[in-house]
Amino acid sequence: MNILAFGPNGSGKGTQGAIVKEKYGLDHIESGAIFREHIKGGTELGMKAKVFIDSGDLVPDEITIPMVLETLGNSKDKGWLLDGFPRSLAQAEALDKALDESGMALDYVLEINLDREIAKDRIMGRRLCANDNNHPNHIAFDAIKPVEKDGELVCRVCGGELSMRADDQDADAINKRHDIYYDDSTGTVAALNYFKNSGKSKVISVDGSKAIDVISEEIMAQLS
Ligand code: AMP
């Protein structure tokens, strides 16, 4: 099963992705997380990408597109949930072409809808687990609240160290990311519409303002 997940930063896309990945044994491919791993590892790609990420700009296509397509190819047998890519119409077209060429089907397009102001408020409360990107933590949601250990907040799943993303604490970077997402002419909403209109995949649309477990039940009910 191959799924493409769309939703603005702060919509809970990563949280739902982690739940779906677990249930269906898929690879959860997050373009942003791949970049963060490269930055952590001090690779050349990471160093090139960092300046764009810190300011909330898109990493150029000549770096991003081959990186994501290579990762997808490696998950061909297992199936994947792709999150964070495509973010533009140009990336959508590149992905569509690559899927056709490789014979991979896109079974589902998942869309998590959320008002921009609510998404913005949510971003600042999320925390990253140092051990596993699929351990969502958020200080404002009981279902995924970090736990306290020796006076520190740690990951609720594994007790790992938590950090905040620099681009999550910078209002300008958040605004830029949302400008890119909600742009329906060449941005991420345009990419979403490209796949919705292609008629090749089943579209699942959910309301991201609902509770985490309600949203995941709605998604599961439509995945078969
Ligand atoms: P995310 O973790 O999805 O919020 O992504 C963090 C940052 O990584 C973004 O703000 C971009 O700078 C970069 N990034 C992630 N995915 C892409 C993409 N598909 N195209 C270009 N840049 C990306």
Q: What CATH number is given to the structural domain containing 30?
A: 3.40.50.300
Domain membership flag for residue 164: no
Domain membership flag for residue 139: no
Residue nearest to atom 19 of ligand 1 (CA): 85
The residue segments making up the domain with residue 9 are 2-115+171-222
For residue 8, give the nearest of 174, 153, 205 by alpha carbon: 174
Domain membership flag for residue 76: yes
Banded pLDDT at 10 (limits 50, 70, 90)? very high
Domain membership flag for residue 35: yes
Split into its structural domains, the chain has a count of 1
Domain membership flag for residue 125: no
For residue 28, give the nearest of 87, 79, 62, 64 by alpha carbon: 79
For residue 85, give the nearest of 58, 117, 124 by alpha carbon: 58
SS3 assignment, position 87: coil
Cis bond upstream, residue 86 (ω within 30) = yes
Domain membership flag for residue 22: yes
Provide the pLDDT for residue 224: 76
- Residue matched to tokens 């609902």: 210
Domain membership flag for residue 121: no
CB under 6 Å to ligand 1: residues?
Answer: 9, 31-32, 35, 52-53, 56-59, 64, 84-85, 87, 91, 167, 177
Using one digit for the tens of pLDDT, what is the confidence trace for 71-125?
999 999 999 999 999 999 999 999 999 999 999 999 999 999 999 999 999 999 9
E strand or H helix that includes residue 43? none
Q: Answer for the pair 192, 13: CB distance below 8 angstroms, yes or no.
A: no
Domain membership flag for residue 166: no
Rounded to the nearest angstrom, the distance between the alpha carbon of 206 and the centre of ligand 1 is 22
Using one digit for the tens of pLDDT, what is the confidence trace for 21-71?
999 999 999 999 999 999 999 999 999 999 999 999 999 999 999 999 999
Average pLDDT, the chain: 96
